[in-house]
Amino acid sequence: MKAIRLVQQGHPLELHDVPIPQPGAHDVLIRVKAAGICHSDAHYRAGKSRVHPLPLTLGHEVAGIVEQLGRDVADFQIGDRVCVHYLATCGACEWCAGGDEQFCGSAQMIGKYRDGGYAEYIVMPARSVFKLPAEIPFEQGAIMMCSSATSLHALSKARLQPDETIAIFGVGGLGTSALQLARGFAPAAVFAVDINRRKLELAAQFGAIPINAATTDPVAEIQKLTNGRGVDVTLELIGLPLTMQQAVRALAIHGRAALVGIMDQTFDVSPYHEIINKEAEIIGVSDHLASELPALLEFARTGSLDLSHAVSRTIPLDVTAVNEALDRLEKFHDDVRVVITP
């Protein structure tokens, strides 16, 4: 089969002819119908994150059709439309047993530590495969498995309750999913903070109250709009010291700040005024859980999560087109989402 592979970091991906992988007893062989090209893939190619072993087929946002079943797989049939949770886990350790499989010591992320979806076929353990309802196009099913899933995990970690208020810092791919999914929790108000006017306009179309941090101090604006109370929940989806700090400062009494954006810098918090005195919480959010995917798929099936705007272009399984899409992600840092449809 054709597979687009990372051979050496810092170099373009290459098209290889490799054997079709064979499913083990608990695995499913999937014919790939859609594989999202994610910002992380540009980091992997550039060498900013570890990818091992090389050469390796990239792609962790995958949807397709069941082609072959392992001997002990009973939950699927050949021809089922499916999407893939990007972690292949052991299924047996204490973390897997407790439903926190993102901490499984032997978890392998596809497209990073095990062959991913930039190929004609992929093999996955059946417990990481989910049926994709007919209402959801393959392209949307694929990209949901990364940013939308993480947005839903952040909302559930932040324990957003009905009639609470939430402010989402950063309304790119993650944020646009987060503000739509937040509505499913029946909040009193959703504030969307960004510096990009176009993104804020889209956020407003999805019912959020836009706050332009390029022209106003978002913390002061949130205080003003909530009569000095602050918000119950903030999601920080950017990964900058300033926005992390704002996400904490904007909290109300008993507020929860869920930090999702990845950064390795530190940020300042005033423990008494910003945490202790309010009994506020800062919560870390890492990836998402397989157990959350059925709810996510249901949000998309019923239209509460609308990703029709999210896929900007589809391309064939063509190495030049894939490298160009990654170049664009590197150069423009935009949220233009390209999906491979082999």
Interface residues with Zn ion (CB under 5 A) are: 38, 89-90, 93, 96, 104, 146
Closest contact distance (angstroms) between CB of 329 and Zn ion is 11
| Whole-angstrom distance, CA of residue 283 vs CA of residue 261 | 12
Going by C-alpha positions, the residue among 40, 76, 80 that lies closest to residue 59 is 40
Nearer to Zn ion, 126 or 189 (CB): 126
Going by C-alpha positions, the residue among 295, 324, 337 that lies closest to residue 147 is 337
Closest contact distance (angstroms) between CB of 204 and Zn ion is 26
Nearer to Zn ion, 1 or 109 (CB): 109
| Residues 27, 66 contacting (CB under 8 angstroms) | no
* Look-up of token digits 């290459």: 14
Nearer to Zn ion, 94 or 201 (CB): 94
| Whole-angstrom distance, CA of residue 270 vs CA of residue 272 | 6
> Helix, strand, or coil here: 93?
coil
Nearer to Zn ion, 101 or 221 (CB): 101
Q: Work out the burial of residue 284: count CB atoms within 10 Å of its CB; fewer than 13 is exposed, 13-18 middle, 19 or more buried.
A: exposed
Closest contact distance (angstroms) between CB of 146 and Zn ion is 3
Closest contact distance (angstroms) between CB of 261 and Zn ion is 14
Nearer to Zn ion, 38 or 282 (CB): 38
Going by C-alpha positions, the residue among 89, 63, 100 that lies closest to residue 297 is 63
Closest contact distance (angstroms) between CB of 104 and Zn ion is 3
Closest contact distance (angstroms) between CB of 61 and Zn ion is 5
Beta bridge partners of residue 194, listed in sequence order = 212
Nearer to Zn ion, 38 or 311 (CB): 38
Nearer to Zn ion, 90 or 269 (CB): 90
| Residues 110, 123 contacting (CB under 8 angstroms) | no
| Whole-angstrom distance, CA of residue 106 vs CA of residue 123 | 17
Closest contact distance (angstroms) between CB of 138 and Zn ion is 16
Closest contact distance (angstroms) between CB of 177 and Zn ion is 12
How far is residue 185 from each of residues 153, 163, 172, 179, 259, measured CA to CA in Å?
Answer: 13, 8, 20, 10, 19
Nearer to Zn ion, 150 or 246 (CB): 150
How far is residue 137 from each of residues 140, 145, 172, measured CA to CA in Å?
Answer: 5, 13, 21
| Whole-angstrom distance, CA of residue 261 vs CA of residue 241 | 10
